[in-house]
């Protein structure tokens, strides 16, 4: 992976605001195209309330920020090693595994007698995992972040850069699109109980196929 600091694509003294802008450039562009098929399918298939759609969106964004903080810390401590790992397809494999897990969750048998708290926790895991894993998608902004953190040479600065990047990436049209998809799913299901199962199974199949496709990219 090219060191973008050496090529002059980023200034030698990169500020956190510059890193935030870099994250925003990702969140407002490529993030939507990459993440919408996964999260849009999840929100539509889950068939929850509007509040659940908003909660899943918040969990997805939180997972992304957590991932970038972790990547910033690892890049600062390990330098070029992390860039080599990311280039090897690890990110695509993790994305595939998270998508398979989300699809499997949608296919699970209904648990009418499960405690509400237990069901809520289980349903919160897939969007968090999808947000975390999709942050590992190889792209130029991520390569720039890793280069900045590796050049910083400090885990603390790496974490700060990762957090700034993640907060920038959180500015994404998905914040609007995902709740709208949840509302669409609610309207489709209204007075059509028979359609609920088919939408759920269809969404699960799409997530599983997306996951398998990502994994096959690595193999």
Q: Is the pLDDT confidence value at 176 over 70? A: yes
Question: Are the C-beta atoms of 46 and 123 separated by less than 8 Å?
Answer: yes
Lowest mean pLDDT among 4-8, 133-137, 203-207: 4-8
* The pLDDT of residue 117: 54
Averaged pLDDT, 57-71: 96
**Exposure of 129 in the CB half-sphere (CA atoms within 13 A):** 20
Which residues make Cβ contacts (< 8 Å) with residue 142, sequence separation at least 6?
26, 71, 86, 135, 136
How many angstroms separate the CA atoms of 193 and 132, rounded?
A: 33
Mean predicted lDDT score pLDDT of the chain: 85
Tell me, what's the pLDDT at 105? 94
Of the listed ranges 6-10, 93-97, 104-108, 170-174, the one predicted with least confidence: 6-10
* pLDDT class of 212 with cuts at 50, 70, 90: very high
Domain extents for the chain?
A: 12-218
Q: What is the C-alpha to C-alpha distance for residues 130 and 199, in angstroms, rounded to an integer?
A: 20
pLDDT at residue 154, rounded to an integer:
86
What is the band of 3 on the pLDDT scale with cuts at 50, 70, 90? very low
pLDDT class of 13 with cuts at 50, 70, 90: low
What would the mean pLDDT of 118-128 be, rounded to a whole number?
Answer: 72
CB within 8 A of 14, min separation 6: which ones? 5, 148, 151, 161
């Amino acid at each position: 992976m090219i060191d973008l600091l050496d090529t002059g694509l980023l200034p030698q003294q990169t500020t956190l605001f510059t890193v935030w802008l870099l994250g925003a450039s990702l969140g407002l562009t490529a993030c939507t195209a990459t993440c919408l098929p996964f999260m849009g399918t999840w929100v539509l298939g889950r068939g929850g309330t509007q509040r659940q759609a908003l909660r899943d969106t918040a969990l997805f964004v939180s997972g992304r920020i957590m991932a970038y903080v972790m990547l910033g810390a690892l890049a600062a401590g390990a330098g070029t090693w992390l860039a080599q790992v990311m280039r090897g397809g690890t990110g695509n494999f993790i994305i595939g595994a998270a998508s398979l897990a989300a699809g499997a969750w949608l296919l699970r048998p209904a648990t009418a007698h499960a405690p509400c708290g237990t069901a809520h926790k289980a349903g919160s895991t897939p969007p968090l995992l999808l947000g975390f894993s999709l942050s590992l998608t190889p792209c130029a902004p991520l390569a720039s972040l890793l280069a900045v953190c590796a050049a910083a040479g400090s885990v603390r600065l790496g974490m700060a850069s990762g957090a700034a990047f993640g907060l920038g990436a959180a500015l994404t049209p998905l914040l609007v699109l995902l709740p709208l998809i949840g509302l669409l799913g609610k309207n489709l299901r209204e007075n059509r109980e028979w359609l609920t199962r088919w939408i759920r199974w269809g969404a699960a199949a799409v997530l599983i196929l997306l996951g398998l496709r990502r994994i096959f990219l690595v193999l």
